[in-house]
Amino acid sequence: MKKQITFLSLVTILTLATITSYGQDLKVKSLDELLTENTADTTRILALESFVDMVLLSHPVVKQANLLPENAKQEIRLARGAFDPKLESSWDVKNFKDTEYYDLFNTTLKVPTWFPVDPKVSFDRNKGQFVNPENSIPGSDDFQQVTAGLSLPIGRGLLIDQRRATVKQAELFAQITDAERIKMINKVLLSASKDYWEWYFAFYNYLLIEESLNISQNVYQRVLTDFEFGEAAAIDTVQAAITLQNRKVDRSEALIDFRKAGLMLSNYLWGQNEEPMVLQDNIVPQLDFGLNLLGSNISLDSLRLLAIQRHPELVKTNFKLDQLDIDRRLARENLKPRVDLNYNLINSPVNAQGDFVEVQLRNNYKFGVEFEFPLFLRKERSKLRQTEIKIEQTTYELSQLEREILNGIEASYFELDNTRGMLSLMQEAVNNYTTLLDLELINLANGESDLFKINFQQDKLLEAQIKLMKMRSAMEKARVTLYWSAGLPYLNFNLNGSN
C-alpha cells in the first residue's frame, strides 16, 4: 500500500510539473500567440519574389553594384577626353632701356580626331627689334600671321595609338563592370534566397512541432481521464507526461530557431534611407507547398548554353582577353618607326586680317618630317611578349573557369533532380505515417491502443514531416544554386525593374 501511495505521489508530482511547465511556457510567446494578438488582416505573407524585390531595392551591396556602370561611363568619358579640342596661348614681352626687344603672342587651336590627322590653327603676332628671324613677320602684314595645317603619322600610330586604345579599353571596361554588377547582385540574391528557405523551414518546423504538441496534449488528457476512471495504468500517465514535456521543449527550441532565422533574414532588409529594418513577428513565409517560386524549369542543355554565353565570370574574362588584344595591337604598332608629317599653310585660306586668300600648296607653307626609331627595340619587344604571356594565361584561366562552371551546373542540376524525386517519396511516407497515427488515435479512443504505439507513430510522423520540409527547403536552395551556377541574371527571378 505504501508503495502504491508513493507511486501515486510521483504521478501527482509529474502532473504538477506539467502544469508548472505550462506556466513557464507563458513567458515565451509561441508563434500562434504572436499571430493571434493581431487580427487576421495584420498577418502578412512574405513571398520569395517580394522579398527579393525588397533586397534589390535597398540592399547596400546592390546599390554599390548599381554604381559600377556609372563609374564605367566616367571611365569612357575620361578616355575620350584625349580627343577634346585644346586652345593654347602664350605672350612673351621684353623691353629694356626703352627698347622693345620682342613682343611675341601666339594662340593655337588643336582639334584631335579619331583618324590620326590632327588639324591645327595658329595666330601669331611677333614684333620687336630682336625677334628671331625665323619667327619674324613682315610689317606689311601688321606683324600678324595665321597658320593652318595638320600632322599625319605614316608609321607608328597610323593604325592605332595610345589614345584610341584607351577609349576602346574603356568601352570594354564598361562591359566588364556590367558583368561584375550582375555577379555582385547574384551573390547577394543567392545568400538571401538560401536564408529565406532557412526561415521557411524554421517556420514550418515550428508549426509541425506545435501540431505534435497539441496531439500529445490531447493524448495526455485522454490518458489522465482514463486513469481517473481506472481504465489506464499510472505508468501510462507518466509516459504521456514525459512525451508532452519533450514536445514542449521541442516547441521552444523550434521557436528560437524560427526567430533566429528571421533575424538572419533581416540582414537583407533596408529602408529607403539606408536604415536597417527588422522582420516583424506578424510576417510569415509563403507556405503553398505546390508553388514553384522560381518559375519554370530550364533544361540542362539550355543552362549550359546560357552559362557559356552570359555567365558573368566568363563574360568578364572574354572582355579581358579583348582588352589584352588591344594591348597586343598597340605593342605591335610600337615596333614601327615613328614618321610624322607636318604641313601648314601660311595666311591661307584666311589671313590675319580675315580676308580669304587663294591656297597655293607650293608657296607660303611650312613642312616638316619627324623620325624616331629605337635601334634595339628592347622595350617594345619586351612589352609585346609580356602582353602575349598575359593572353596565354587568361586563355588558360578561361578554359578552367568554363570547365568549373559547367561541372558546377551539372552537379547542381543532379542535386535538384534527385531531391525532387526524394521529395515525392517522402511525401508518400508522410501520408502513410499520418494514416497510421490516425488509426492509433482511433484505437486509443476505443481503448484498444497503448501509448508506446502512439508515441512511436507520432515520433515517426514528426520526423518524416520535418524531413519532408527540410527536403523542400533543400530543393529550392538547389534550384537557386543551379541558376547561380549558370550565371543567370538575377537568378532567373521574374522581377519588376530588375533590368
Q: In CATH, what number is assigned to the domain containing residue 41?
A: 1.20.1600.10
pLDDT in tens, 192-222: 999 999 999 998 898 888 888 888 888 888 8
Q: DSSP state, 490?
A: G
Task: Evaluate whether residue 329 is within a structural domain.
Answer: no
Does residue 405 sit within a domain? Answer: yes
378 inside domain: no
Do 21 and 48 lie in a common domain? yes
Asked if omega into 489 is within 30° of 0 (cis), the reply is no
Same-domain status, 444 and 313? yes
What per-residue confidence (pLDDT) applies to 234?
Answer: 82
308 with 177, same domain: the answer is yes
Q: In what order do the strands lie in the sheet with 365-372?
A: 86-96, 99-110, 118-127, 144-153, 338-346, 365-372
Q: 247 and 211 in one domain?
A: yes
What percent of the chain clears pLDDT 90, i.e. is strictly above it? 54
Domain around 92: 85-115+117-156+338-372
What's phi and psi for 445, nearest 5 deg?
-65, -30
Instruction: Assess whether 89 and 71 both reside in one domain.
Output: no
172 in the same domain as 65: yes
311, 342: one domain: no
Q: What is the pLDDT of residues 360-382, one digit of tens each?
A: 778 888 999 999 999 999 999 99
- For residue 387, being part of any structural domain is answered with no
Q: pTM for this structure?
A: 0.82
Q: Is residue 351 classed exposed, middle or buried when 0-12, 13-18 and 19+ CB atoms within 10 A define those classes?
A: middle
Q: Is residue 382 part of a domain?
A: no
104 and 60 share a domain? no
Q: What is the pLDDT of residue 214?
A: 83
User: Would you say residue 367 lies in a domain?
Assistant: yes
Is 380 part of any domain?
Answer: no
Please indicate, yes or no, whether residues 106 and 252 belong to a single structural domain of this protein. Answer: no
3-state helix, strand, coil in the chain (%, to 5): 65, 15, 25
Q: How far lies 108's CA from each of 116, 323, 359, 381, in Å?
A: 18, 35, 20, 37
Q: Tell me the pLDDT tens digit for each residue of 255-301.
A: 999 999 999 999 999 988 888 988 887 788 876 554 444 444 688 99
Domain assignment present for 298? yes
Counting the structural domains of the chain, the total is 2
Give the distance between the most distant pair of CA atoms in the chain: 144
Rg over alpha carbons for the chain, rounded to the nearest Å, is 41
258-271 burial: b if 16+ Cβ within 10 Å, else e: bbebbebbbbbbbe
Q: Work out the average pLDDT over 144-170.
A: 94
Residues 237 and 358 in one domain: no
DSSP labels, 193-258: HHHHHHHHHHHHHHHHHHHHHHHHHHHHHHHHHHHHTTSS-HHHHHHHHHHHHHHHHHHHHHHHHH
3-state secondary structure of 361: coil
Q: Please check whether residues 305 and 216 belong to one and the same domain.
A: yes
Same domain, 311 and 410: yes
